């Protein structure tokens, strides 16, 4: 169920960022509000933008046609009785990343990012898993990477996303350990705080709070 109070705060934050002229929020507005769909960043930031517009944007992000529909939907969900779910429960996801040097990758994830090796198959190893808390990543050796690392870095094509708590402390820890940052810690237009790590093969891992 959406947390309406948090969404109200996000809407106010978007209005403030628009007023302050932050270009990332212009892309967010153009993406979700059809009235701004053909406008440039400069035109969007110069255009009148009110709290009601930001609330509509938030509603669209949440899958509702309007802010009032979001409020009604949240109210309806709060009044519903719990329903029986399928006995099939999702436990966790394990993204698979490709590497041309598995030993090098294991060393990086263990020493720089604080993961531990759960298993490694082969001698030399060709398949392994690292984990930290509930986050697990599978690493598979390949002779040639199935993507162009330069293109992945240029377009920020993420290989995995890991949700964390206390992201500032984690960022400072990784910084002290010499991790390779594609993007340092920042607050996104939608309120999340994120940073992106690049592993030795160019796989981009987003950490988000």
The structure tokens 């969404």 sit at 7
Residue-wise pLDDT for 134-166, tens only, equals 999 999 999 998 888 777 666 678 999 999 999
Cβ atoms of 35 and 42 within 8 Å: the answer is no
Which residue ranges in the chain fall short of pLDDT 70? Answer: 1-2, 77-88, 152-155
Cβ atoms of 13 and 5 within 8 Å: the answer is no
Residue-wise pLDDT for 42-68, tens only, equals 999 999 999 999 999 988 888 888 999
pTM reported for the whole predicted model: 0.60
Q: What is the C-alpha to C-alpha distance for residues 116 and 137, in angstroms, rounded to an integer?
A: 10
DSSP 3-state of 41? helix
Phi/psi at 9 (5° precision): -65, -40
Q: What is the C-alpha to C-alpha distance for residues 143 and 102, in angstroms, rounded to an integer?
A: 11
Predicted local distance difference test score (pLDDT) of residue 79: 63
Domains observed in the chain: 4-79 (no CATH), 96-208 (3.10.180.10)
Give the mean pLDDT of the chain: 88
């Amino acid at each position: 169920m959406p947390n309406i109070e948090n969404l109200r705060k996000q809407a106010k934050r978007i209005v403030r960022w628009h007023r302050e002229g932050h270009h990332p929020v212009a892309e967010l507005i153009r993406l979700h509000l059809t009235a701004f769909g053909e406008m440039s960043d400069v035109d969007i930031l110069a255009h009148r933008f009110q709290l009601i517009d930001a609330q509509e944007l938030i509603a669209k992000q949440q899958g509702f046609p309007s802010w009032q529909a979001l409020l009604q939907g949240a109210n309806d969900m709060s009044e519903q009785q719990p329903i029986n779910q399928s006995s099939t429960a999702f436990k966790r996801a394990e993204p698979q990343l490709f590497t041309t040097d598995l030993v090098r990758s294991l060393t990086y994830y263990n020493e720089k990012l604080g993961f531990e090796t759960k298993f490694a198959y082969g001698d030399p190893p060709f398949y392994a898993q690292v984990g930290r808390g509930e986050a697990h990543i599978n690493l598979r050796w390949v002779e040639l990477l199935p993507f162009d690392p330069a293109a992945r870095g240029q377009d920020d094509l993420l290989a995995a996303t890991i949700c964390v708590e206390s992201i500032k402390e984690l960022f400072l820890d990784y910084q002290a350990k010499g991790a390779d940052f594609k993007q340092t810690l920042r607050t996104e237009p939608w309120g999340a705080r994120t940073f992106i790590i690049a592993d030795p093969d160019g796989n981009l891992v987003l950490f988000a709070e």
